[in-house]
Amino acid sequence: MVAPMEDVTRFAPSPTGLLHLGHARAALFARALGRRCLLRIEDIDAARCRPECTAALLEDLAWLGLAFDGAVRVQSRHFADYAAVLDALRGRGLLYPCFCTRADIAAAASAQHGPSGLVYPGTCRGRADAAALLAGGAPHAWRLDVARAMAEAGPLSFHERGEGRIPCDPAAHGDVVLARKDVPASYHLCVAHDDALQGVTCVTRGADLKEATAIHRLLQALMRWPEPRYAHHPLLLGADGRRLAKRDGAPSLRALREAGHAPEAVRAMAGCGA
């Protein structure tokens, strides 16, 4: 483990199941790097997140010997904060309602793959009937007009620990969703807002989220939030070389504990030399 070198880091799990070794790696990495390390529960998706998973993860982290600083922030209690950001961006003409279904997007001839999946083809941008559809209660998401947003923000980059400054291109993601149809917020919005609110100075997370940093930098620029540093850690891979995931049967920390492994042994399994 390196000596702590960042002021404030955070571990931000989504309580959709039991923690596995990949989560333990992220938590250990955040804790090792931060003089202060916060815990945030990213549970805006009520259909996938369960309170009993939050309770279990708190217990598993304590068993692992990890203690966090300050109060735990539980995102589902703060929808009003996210709504205020959406209002501000909407008032500046940077959001538009999107009525498309997943199938509509996939079927659009111009739909292309970007760093975070299908790039939205812009079908609802500037739609003449948007106001009427909204008034009629049509289900809709709110998307960021990335071209407009970038015209305001200018060129963006981020500082990656060990690599230095890296240019980034939010446009590659297309017009991302900031408020979902089923949830009045989104991962990108909540994570960028909360990192700023909580004074996180170094965002630590798995390398699978490195591409998302472009969108977070754009939101920070638009909202005049401070720019944190970033440290993306290598993902823990299974024997098949693929990232560990619950759906592929990665053992939970709880299962390892019940099989008699000591916390130190599990920490060693999850370690990444940080």
Q: For ligand GLU, how many residues bind (rule: CB under 6 A)?
A: 7
Smallest distance from ligand GLU to CB 195, Å: 8
Give whichever of 30 and 124 is closer to ligand GLU, judged by the CB atom: 30
Give whichever of 43 and 175 is closer to ligand GLU, judged by the CB atom: 43
Residue 260, Cβ neighbours under 10 Å: how many?
A: 7
Distance (Å, rounded) from C-alpha 270 to C-alpha 4?
Answer: 18
Q: Of these residues, 246, 254, 263, 271, which one is catalytic? A: 246
The reply to whether 181 belongs to the active site is no
**Helices 79-91 and 213-223, packing angle to 10 deg:** 70
Per CB under 6 A, the list member of 20, 22, 31, 42 interacting with ligand GLU is: 42
Smallest distance from ligand GLU to CB 204, Å: 7
Residues from 112 through 141 that contact ligand GLU (CB under 6 A) = none
Smallest distance from ligand GLU to CB 207, Å: 11
- The CA angle 114-85-176, to the nearest 5 degrees, is 10
Give whichever of 57 and 100 is closer to ligand GLU, judged by the CB atom: 57
The region of 11-19, 108-116, 147-155, 224-232 touching ligand GLU under the rule CB under 6 A is 11-19
Q: Which residue is nearest to ligand GLU (CB)?
A: 205
**Helix (H/G/I), strand (E/B), else coil: 135:** helix
Give whichever of 41 and 98 is closer to ligand GLU, judged by the CB atom: 41
Q: Give CA separation, 30 vs 18, 53, 203, 205, in Å.
A: 19, 20, 8, 8
Nearest to 180 by CA among 189, 172, 171, 168: 189
Distance (Å, rounded) from C-alpha 254 to C-alpha 177?
Answer: 34
Distance (Å, rounded) from C-alpha 89 to C-alpha 210?
Answer: 24
Q: Does residue 205 belong to the site contacting ligand GLU (CB under 6 A)?
A: yes
Per CB under 6 A, the list member of 141, 191, 200, 218 interacting with ligand GLU is: 191
The region of 7-15, 138-146, 158-166, 176-184 touching ligand GLU under the rule CB under 6 A is 7-15
Q: Does residue 209 belong to the site contacting ligand GLU (CB under 6 A)?
A: yes
- Tokens standing for residue 182: 């089923």
Residue 136, Cβ neighbours under 10 Å: how many?
A: 8
Residues from 12 through 41 that contact ligand GLU (CB under 6 A) = 12-14
Distance (Å, rounded) from C-alpha 147 to C-alpha 152?
Answer: 9
Indicate which residues carry an active-site annotation. Answer: 246
**Chain residues that interact with ligand GLU, rule: CB under 6 A:** 12-14, 42, 191, 205, 209
